Amino acid sequence: MSFTVESDNPVVKAVIHGTAPRPAQVAAARGILPLPADDMLEVLVAFAMSDDTELSGHAKQTIRNHDAETLNGLVRSERTPVHVLNFLATVSELPRKVLESIITNSRTPVTTIVKVAGETKSVELLEAISHNQQLLIQAPALIDAILKNPSRSSETDRRVAETKREFFEKERGQQQVADELRAQGKEAAAEFVESIDLESGDLSLDDAAFLAEHILIPDSETDDAWLALDFLEEIYEETAEQRQSIVNKILGELKSEDMDLPNERISIIHAIMKMGMKDRMKLAIKGDREARNILVRDPNRIVAQAVMTNPRITEQEVEKIAAMRTITEDILRQIAASRQWSRCYSIVHNLARNPRTPIANVLTILSRLQLKDLNALSKNRNVSDPVRRQALRLSQLRVGK
């Protein structure tokens, strides 16, 4: 029998896998083998799902006749295996309170609850599911399953239809979108939507909700006090033509690095560049890898520098940025001056080879390079003459010339 056993009890494994004597298997299927209650339940479900007609028949009957209070306590436990919960959810003969405990167990997959909602004939069970509005919001398929089930009561129908209208059909306001995101556990995305200035006309609510999918970092993990956001857009006012120019620049750079640029990435770039500078900076600080990869290319140096303060930026990303020939000097200077990033040899090496890195920073870095890299740099025609000469001088000193 192919069945993943979660119990550590060797007797359970022997009985399920068939290495135990047949009489022991039959006794287990009838519920009379002396085993702990949770182990016995796993055995019964394994047999009920098996192709062995005798064991399956006994096990299903034992499950149906199981003491309701004991079974209810077991299915409420967060230690109950998922495959046990999945199977028991399909046993319509179980007491309603047991089925309710199964659908409220955090380990029960949403797909299983959707299946139950679509197939159950229990009015009370559908009523119980309909009361979990947070789950309905997280799984719209659950709403459709309930509304298609002819066994639903008028009250259940009203409650679920109301949730559908409120969260998925009516024109949504900014706070409502944020509340939906919070209901899905996306606190950082909700904060981002709330912070967007929709009255400026730079960004629509749909665009804000689209970009919120790329927000990872909540306010509690960021420090933007240094940005003086209230005055930035007055100082760096941008025209529509300038923003389109930025889009074209970023698209050109990404296409040169990756010939396959999916439509979704292009849509993200266009959505980001509809944002004013203040909102782009918020996205730079709180966004995911995709947002960072786009905004670090922003010609506005303050937006690009904000990316480097993102708490989730990785060493691999900084290594890639340090090698970019289109990046602004301010970013390269910022990386070179950082104690955190300058400890990584591959980042330092990329800075030294990048012709856009300020010469003063490169000359400071050279003494830390390995001999073979100094030799290569002294012959690299892409870097400036002072850098090549200093690399040659240092390499000769290393070998005693």
Q: Bridge partners of 215?
A: 287
Selected residue with higher pLDDT from 285 and 220 = 285
What distance in Å separates the CA atoms of residue 292 and residue 306, rounded to the nearest whole number?
9
Render pLDDT for 21-76 as a digit per residue (tens, 0 to 9).
Answer: 999 999 999 999 999 999 999 999 999 999 999 999 999 999 999 999 999 999 99
Q: What span, in angstroms and rounded, lies between the C-alpha atoms of 180 and 202?
A: 23
% of the chain surpassing 90 pLDDT: 55
Taking 70 as the threshold, does the pLDDT of residue 229 lie above it? no
Helices (H), 65-186: 68-76, 82-88, 96-104, 110-119, 123-130, 133-138, 140-148, 154-164, 174-183
- pLDDT confidence of residue 300: 84
Per-residue pLDDT at 199 exceeds 60: yes
Angstrom distance (rounded) from CA 55 to CA 311: 56
pTM of this prediction?
A: 0.56
Q: Of the candidates 301, 252, 302, 251, which has an alpha carbon nearest to the alpha carbon of residue 272?
A: 251
How far, in Å, CA of 147 to CA of 142, rounded?
A: 9
Q: Judge whether residue 235 has pLDDT over 70.
A: no
In degrees and rounded to multiples of 5, residue 215 shows phi and psi of -100, 125
Q: Is the pLDDT of residue 393 over 90?
A: yes
- Residue 225 confidence (pLDDT) above 70: no
Alpha-carbon distance of 342 to 332, in angstroms, equals 11
Q: Helix, strand or coil for residue 124?
A: helix
Whether 374 contacts 368, CB under 8 Å: no
pLDDT tens digits for range 138-186: 888 999 999 999 999 999 999 998 888 777 755 567 888 888 888 888 8
Count of CB atoms situated within 10 Å of the CB of 177: 21
The band of 237, judged by pLDDT with boundaries at 50, 70 and 90, is low
Cβ–Cβ under 8 Å, residues 75 and 98: yes
Given a cut of 90, whether residue 204 has pLDDT beyond it is: no
- Cα dist from 193 to 23, 229, 243, 294, 349, whole Å: 63, 17, 21, 19, 39
Mean pLDDT of the chain: 87
Return the beta strands (E) in 135-262 as ranges: none
